[in-house]
């Protein structure tokens, strides 16, 4: 019998659920009702379920990006900016090419997003390969800087003069991904993780390049002395990670918001890190991990709307979970690694 | 070993899940036995604390609801604009609220979109914006009236010789959080018109921050404007307003407050303040709805003559810090708007 090993994240997840329940019991005057909205209510109607599934799709893509770079020994802390860049590149593509038919236009928009995210991460990757610039710092700083520029573009040159929101002009109907669960934004993009996750899993574990990538990730000096071209493995995985984030950004635009509205990333980049950690930095764990995180995010959102859980408390619960996951998972990893 | 614990934990998990489901709020069985209570939702695009306009709206709705025995639930949407639509959509999806009341010029476009999905959901947007063949009820305040009064006051201040902080340049400032239609089509023109009416040859230096929270940037902008000879600034920038106030305090110049009583914020620096009576509008419109008289798609446009916007003259601080000559001149002009003899367009 194949040995079944409990993922390191499982006790952490139980702890997470316990802590959120505790917070709710402490601060809610009707904890039963709040708990209901936090957990099972997510499945109570199409809107909530669809939004949750949509978030899950996006998180599994950004999570995959994090796993990939992590396996190669890079830290991509710039996910937020790469998602944002992906979205704005898709907005620009839609502006420049308004006359494509939808079936062609949507892939072009997505490709623009992929390119944008990839380019941003490539800069950090090449800096690391050439001058050993710390990718943890460079991805984060680049992303923060670029986000400000995009904020400016959205509120300035690209802004929709007819809207009171800080947003670009809405995409034409033909460039939108149709909902499969009206009125939620859940759409055909769910195919993407189903294709990409197995593909990357296969690449990492069954190809020579995947193996070399992981060697570089475990010890770059060992890899260098073994004659591997470490420069490639310091640049490309990070670039692809950025590409996946950019893809998520373009998907948020074409499938969820239909306009480049300020703040549309809503933590996709950061939460991607949490998802990757819950998944134990392994591709097969990504879908369940993304499901867990999407559920919690959606649950806290619904609870804030319909119970006496305040907006701040909802955010606090999410923050506490993020902290728990990132610290606890890392700790378990270290202990097992000894 | 680990697997064993999972197996043991499974029934526990299922049991707790069932428990949770049983916690679901009970469907209103009382509905049959008597009259159904009307349920209202107030959606705050932001947070209540520190947003007097939203507090006024909430107050007004609750006052009307209390009189008519309706239930009110207030939901805060937070500052991320991208989240507002999903949140209001979720409120509508619950099909629990007869009317969703909100306030902000950007909300009508969001509510119209949701109305396409849930046609039965009714909306009331205060401080809204109107389109032809509208599907949601809106209430619009005359920003033209209000900004004209404030502009007129700014003109009086900049041409005054009695005020220490006023220089010989006839320059006044206007700082906005972002460029939005109301700002460009109503507030800025109204303000300029007011300034020129009081101080012929006066000019308005208009600056945009780009968001509604960056007090540091607002302060930098204001400092620069004061250095270039501006002596009074009307600031409409939400949380960033504080930056303009601190800059004015440092430079010994003046600030005008826009839509809530601002005199207390920094006495002597906040020289004049307008007010938008969102509480009255919220109360009256909610009352109308509860009597079944509020029509979806209807729109009310109300200004100084109707008493929904005004310049606050009844403040002790205003009387202390503003010379009598300016106050008298302002009263004369403002009264023309209040009694309807002056109409702006």
Write out the DSSP string of B277-292.
-HHHHHHHHHHHHHTT
Residues B99 and B116 in one domain: yes
The minimal CB distance from A40 to the residues B17, B75, B104 is found for: B17
Q: Residue A16's pLDDT is what?
A: 82
The CATH number of the domain holding residue B244 is 3.40.50.2300
Q: Is residue B4 part of a domain?
A: no
Q: How far is A143 from chain B (nearest CA, A)?
A: 19
Whether B181 has its CB under 8 Å from any CB of chain A: the answer is yes
Q: Residue B28's pLDDT is what?
A: 44
The minimal CB distance from A152 to the residues B81, B89, B210 is found for: B210
Q: How far is CA B70 from CA A13, A68, A145, B65, B179, in A?
A: 41, 54, 49, 5, 38
Q: Is residue B1 part of a domain?
A: no
Percent of chain A with pLDDT over 70: 94
Q: How far apart are CA B90 and CA A118, in angstroms?
A: 34
Q: Name the packing angle between helices A79-96 and A230-251 (round to 10°).
A: 60
Q: What's the mean pLDDT in A322-333?
A: 71
Structure letter (DSSP) for residue A256: I
User: Nearest 5 degrees, angle CA B9-CA B13-CA B16?
Assistant: 140
Q: Is residue B64 part of a domain?
A: yes
Residues B200 and B264 in one domain: yes
Q: Is the pLDDT of residue B318 over 90?
A: yes
Q: Residue B27's pLDDT is what?
A: 47
Chain B CB contacts of A186 below 8 Å: none
Residues B174 and B184 in one domain: yes
Q: Residue B35's pLDDT is what?
A: 62
Under the banding of pLDDT at 50, 70 and 90, the label for residue A230 is confident
Under the banding of pLDDT at 50, 70 and 90, the label for residue B308 is very high
Residues B225 and B260 in one domain: yes
Residues B246 and B291 in one domain: no
* Count of CB pairs separated by less than 8 Å, A with B: 100
Q: How many CB atoms lie within 10 A of CB A242?
A: 35
Residues B117 and B196 in one domain: no
Residues B56 and B122 in one domain: yes
Q: What's the mean pLDDT in B132-154?
A: 92
Q: Is residue B23 part of a domain?
A: no
Residues B54 and B195 in one domain: no
Under the banding of pLDDT at 50, 70 and 90, the label for residue B8 is low
Residues B104 and B248 in one domain: no
Q: Is the pLDDT of residue B26 over 60?
A: no
What residue ranges define each of the domains in chain A, with the CATH number in brackets?
Answer: 9-337 (1.10.3470)
User: Nearest 5 degrees, angle CA A68-CA A69-CA A73?
Assistant: 120
Under the banding of pLDDT at 50, 70 and 90, the label for residue B15 is low
Task: Provide the residue count of chain B.
Answer: 345
Question: Per DSSP, what are the bridge partners of residue B203?
Answer: B171
Q: Is residue B252 part of a domain?
A: yes
Q: What's the mean pLDDT in B292-314?
A: 91
Q: Which of A223-227, A325-329, B81-85 has the lowest mean pLDDT?
A: A325-329
For residue B44, the enclosing domain spans: 36-141+279-302
Best probe of the B interface among A311, A312, A315, A332, by most B CBs < 10 A, is: A311
Q: Is residue B345 part of a domain?
A: no
The minimal CB distance from B90 to the residues A10, A40, A47 is found for: A47
Instruction: Tell me if A152 and B94 make a contact (CB, 8 A cut-off).
Output: no
Q: Is residue B77 part of a domain?
A: yes
Q: Is the pLDDT of residue A34 over 80?
A: yes
Q: Is residue B231 part of a domain?
A: yes
Residues B136 and B232 in one domain: no
Q: Is the pLDDT of residue A1 over 50?
A: no
pLDDT digits (tens, 9 = 90+) for A45-90: 899 999 999 999 999 999 999 999 999 999 999 999 999 999 999 9
Residues B147 and B263 in one domain: yes
The minimal CB distance from A164 to the residues B75, B77, B109 is found for: B109
Chain B CB contacts of A52 below 8 Å: none
Residue of chain A with shortest Cα separation from B131: A162
Domain count, chain B: 2
Residues B182 and B47 in one domain: no
Who's near A326: CB < 8 A, 6+ residues apart?
A273, A274, A277
Q: What's the mean pLDDT in A257-277?
A: 92
Q: What is the pTM of this model?
A: 0.84
């Amino acid at each position: 019998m194949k040995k079944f090993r409990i993922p390191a994240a499982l006790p952490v997840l139980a702890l997470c659920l316990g802590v959120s329940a505790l917070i709710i019991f402490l601060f809610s005057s009707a904890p039963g009702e709040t708990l209901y909205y936090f957990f099972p209510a997510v499945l109570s109607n199409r809107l909530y379920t669809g939004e949750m599934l949509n978030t899950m799709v996006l998180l599994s893509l950004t999570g995959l990006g994090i796993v990939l770079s992590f396996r190669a020994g890079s830290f991509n802390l710039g996910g937020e900016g790469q998602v944002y860049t992906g979205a704005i590149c898709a907005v620009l593509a839609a502006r420049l090419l308004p006359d494509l038919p939808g079936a062609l236009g949507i892939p072009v928009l997505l490709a623009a997003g992929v390119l944008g995210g990839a380019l941003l991460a490539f800069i950090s990757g090449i800096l690391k390969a050439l001058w050993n610039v710390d990718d943890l710092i460079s991805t984060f700083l680049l992303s923060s800087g670029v986000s400000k520029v995009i904020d400016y573009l959205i509120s300035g040159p690209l802004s929709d003069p007819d809207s009171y929101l800080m947003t670009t002009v809405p995409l034409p109907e033909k460039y939108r991904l149709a909902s499969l669960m009206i009125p939620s934004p859940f759409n055909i993009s769910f195919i993407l993780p189903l294709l990409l996750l197995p593909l990357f899993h296969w690449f990492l574990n069954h190809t020579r390049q995947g193996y070399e990538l992981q060697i570089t990730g475990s010890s770059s000096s060992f890899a260098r002395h073994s004659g591997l071209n470490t420069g490639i493995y310091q640049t490309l995985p990070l670039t692809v990670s950025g590409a996946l984030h950019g893809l998520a950004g373009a998907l948020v635009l074409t499938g969820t918001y239909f306009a480049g509205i300020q703040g549309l990333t809503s933590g996709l980049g950061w939460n991607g890190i949490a998802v990757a950690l819950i998944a134990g930095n392994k591709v097969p764990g990504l879908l369940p991990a993304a499901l867990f995180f999407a559920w919690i995010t959606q649950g806290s959102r619904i609870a804030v709307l319909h119970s006496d859980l305040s907006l701040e408390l909802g955010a606090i619960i999410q923050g506490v979970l993020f902290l728990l996951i990132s610290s606890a998972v890392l700790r378990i990893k270290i202990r097992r690694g000894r | 070993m680990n697997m064993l614990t999972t197996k043991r934990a499974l029934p526990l998990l299922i049991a707790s899940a069932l428990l949770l489901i049983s916690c679901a709020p009970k469907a209103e069985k009382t509905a049959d036995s008597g009259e159904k209570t009307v349920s209202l939702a107030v959606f705050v695009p932001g947070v209540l604390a520190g947003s007097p306009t939203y507090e006024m709206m909430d107050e007004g709705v609750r006052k009307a609801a209390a009189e008519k025995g309706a239930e009110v639930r207030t939901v805060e949407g937070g500052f991320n604009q991208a989240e507002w639509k999903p949140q209001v959509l979720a409120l509508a999806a619950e099909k629990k609220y007869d009317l969703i009341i909100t306030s902000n010029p950007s909300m009508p476009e969001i509510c119209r979109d949701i109305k396409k999905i849930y046609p039965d959901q009714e909306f009331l947007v205060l401080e809204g914006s109107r389109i032809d063949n509208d599907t949601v009820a809106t209430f619009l305040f005359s920003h033209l009236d209000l900004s004209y009064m404030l502009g007129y006051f700014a003109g009086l201040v900049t041409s005054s010789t009695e005020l220490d902080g006023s220089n010989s340049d006839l320059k006044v400032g206007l700082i906005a959080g972002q460029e939005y239609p109301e700002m460009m089509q109503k507030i800025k023109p109204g303000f300029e018109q007011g300034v020129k009416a009081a101080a012929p040859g006066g000019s308005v230096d208009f600056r945009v921050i780009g968001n509604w929270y960056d007090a540091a940037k607002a302060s930098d902008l204001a400092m620069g404007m004061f250095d270039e000879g501006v002596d009074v600034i009307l600031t409409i920038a939400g949380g960033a307003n504080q930056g303009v106030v601190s800059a004015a305090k440092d430079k010994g110049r003046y600030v005008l407050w826009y839509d809530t009583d601002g005199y207390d914020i920094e006495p002597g620096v906040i020289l004049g303040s307008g007010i938008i009576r969102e509480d009255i509008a919220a109360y009256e419109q909610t009352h109308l709805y509860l009597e079944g008289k509020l029509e979806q798609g209807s729109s009310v446009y109300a200004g100084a003559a109707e008493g929904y916007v005004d310049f606050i003259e009844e403040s002790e601080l205003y009387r202390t810090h503003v010379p009598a000559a300016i106050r008298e001149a302002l009263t004369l002009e403002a009264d023309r708007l209040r009694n309807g003899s002056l109409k702006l367009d």
